Amino acid sequence: MIIGGGFAGIAAAHALKRSNVDILLLDRRNHHIFQPLLYQVATAVLAPSEIAAPFRQLEAKQKNLSVLLAEVKAINPAARAVEVICPGVGSRKVEYDFLVVATGMRPSYFGHDEFARFAPGLKTLNDAETIRTKILSAFELAESTDDEKERARQMTFVLVGAGPTGVELAASIAQLVSVTLRKNFRNIDPAESRIVLLDGGARVLSTFAESLSKKVARRLDKLGVEVLTGVKVERVDDQGVIAAGERIPSATVLWTAGVAASPVIKMLGTTMDRAGRALVGPFLHIPEAPEVFVAGDAAAITQDGHPVPGVAQAAIQQGRFVGRLIAHRAKGRKDGRPFRYRNKGNMAVVGKNFAVLEVGWLRTGGFLTWLVWAALHVLALPQLQNRFRVQTQWFWSYLTGQRSSRLISEAPRPPESR
């Protein structure tokens, strides 16, 4: 049983393709998403379905896999059973021989959950559409109002957290306002928007080398993004943020800072770190039960004294490792070597034509790195069709500066007749 169809869950399922096991893949949503491009859905470059793939298609491709759309209610490792709730149907007990928990992370507000309703994070397609609607609506409101202060507030975008997501989102918003929305309004000039990227740390992209942080900060400055580092956010409310004692009025505050593990990890009853991740051993299972694995961002793993980062590459490697290990055990073999993360390099993209790359001793950034970034991301997308679609979108967007998903979504009607 695999809980969660992100990078780690899918990799585990895939690694078990030729194994004589029955796999149940459980997820709350009906689709896998390609998280690295989620920020482009949030900024109207891509349509939600272009970075998504329905889990059910895996059933057609992999005979030993079943998919269940459900939420986890409780896990009982002693009884090797999970209680799940299928929405609209009810709860049910599922027994397992091996359990892979790959439920990933969610935004964490460091004990300030009251910030959540004013500052959405970016983890799901729904988050991305919420953010897209917020950004596009802000310009509509700025265009409609006669109140200068309110107009300035609507045209101020604050991103809390200057990790990869914060940097990528800020740069993408900067290009949206200066290129895509140009000449699209009569009363305002979107290019006059203020985009503020806040971080409590000393520099942007703190997990990258310092030289790359500097490059990225310069690039952000060139794009018109105000970077404020060493600044703690004290409050987020309906008027904006208070950071370092000063209020920044803003109608669009986005949370790209902390993340915490999904509450499913807690159900395992194992030791967790401060972010709620499970402290798994070298074979990625919890100490209490060798048949219960945690893979992906929700697993806290230390290697050579450093934590294994919560990036897609690490999640895929962990998922694959767990899948193969289960395949071994199913054949009655013993566990081989423990998990080792092989860092194939970190990348971050900063708008058009610029990305940074850190791999081994190499630290580089610029246009060529951006081309590599684009090629790698297109190739990594799920489903061949999505590769064509995203490629076409990027090409068109690159040439014209237009973005093709500028929709302000309405709240859908609730599905009442179940």
Segment 42 to 81, residues that bind its own copies, using CB under 8 A: 47-50, 52, 54, 56-57, 59-60, 66, 68-70
Size of the site for its own copies (CB under 8 A): 75
Q: Between 160 and 199, how does the x/- string for binding to its own copies read (CB under 8 A)?
A: ---------------------xxxxxx-------------
Closer Cβ to its own copies, 160 or 217, answer by number:
160
Q: State the virtual CA torsion across 359, 364, 366, 367 in degrees, nearest 10.
A: -50
Residue at token pair 């004589």: 20
15-43 core/surface letters (b: 16 or more CB in 10 A; e: else): bbbebebebbbbbbeebbbbbbbbbbbbb
The verdict on whether 246 is a catalytic residue reads no
404 part of the interface to its own copies, by CB under 8 A: yes
**In the 8-state DSSP scheme, what is residue 301?**
-
The Cα 159–Cα 107 span in angstroms is 13
Choose among 172, 121, 122, 199: nearest CA to 350. 172
Q: Catalytic one among 143, 168, 192, 210?
A: 168
β-partners of residue 158 are 196, 253
Sign of the CA dihedral 279, 284, 290, 292?
A: positive
Please choose, out of 266-274, 287-295, 315-323, 386-394, the segment that lies near its own copies by the rule CB under 8 A.
Answer: 386-394
Of the candidates 156, 165, 270, 386, which one interacts with its own copies according to CB under 8 A?
386
Q: Output helix, strand, coil percentages for the chain, rounded to the nearest 5.
A: 35, 25, 40
Write out the two tokens for 73.
Answer: 């209610």
Q: Between 199 and 238, how does the x/- string for binding to its own copies read (CB under 8 A)?
A: --------------------------------------xx
**Residue numbers 2-41 binding its own copies by CB under 8 A:** 29-31
Q: Between 77 and 106, how does the x/- string for binding to its own copies read (CB under 8 A)?
A: ---------xxxx-----------------
Residue at token pair 């897209």: 132
Closer Cβ to its own copies, 196 or 205, answer by number:
196
Residue at token pair 């090409």: 395
Of the candidates 39, 96, 98, 118, which one interacts with its own copies according to CB under 8 A?
118
Of the candidates 19, 130, 207, 229, which one interacts with its own copies according to CB under 8 A?
130
The Cα 131–Cα 160 span in angstroms is 14
148 part of the interface to its own copies, by CB under 8 A: no
The Cα 85–Cα 70 span in angstroms is 5
Please choose, out of 119-127, 288-296, 299-307, 352-360, the segment that lies near its own copies by the rule CB under 8 A.
Answer: 119-127
Of the candidates 125, 204, 233, 314, which one interacts with its own copies according to CB under 8 A?
125
**Residue numbers 261-320 binding its own copies by CB under 8 A:** none
Of the candidates 149, 274, 334, 413, which one interacts with its own copies according to CB under 8 A?
413
User: Given the DSSP bridges, would you call strands 233-237 and 225-229 parallel, antiparallel or unpaired?
Assistant: unpaired
Cβ-based neighbours of 404, under 8 Å, separated by 6 or more: 44, 45, 47, 393, 396, 397
414 part of the interface to its own copies, by CB under 8 A: yes
255 part of the interface to its own copies, by CB under 8 A: no
Of the candidates 288, 306, 385, 398, which one interacts with its own copies according to CB under 8 A?
385
Q: Which helix (H) or strand (E) holds 152?
A: helix 148-154
Closer Cβ to its own copies, 146 or 304, answer by number:
146
Task: List residues with catalytic annotation.
Answer: 168
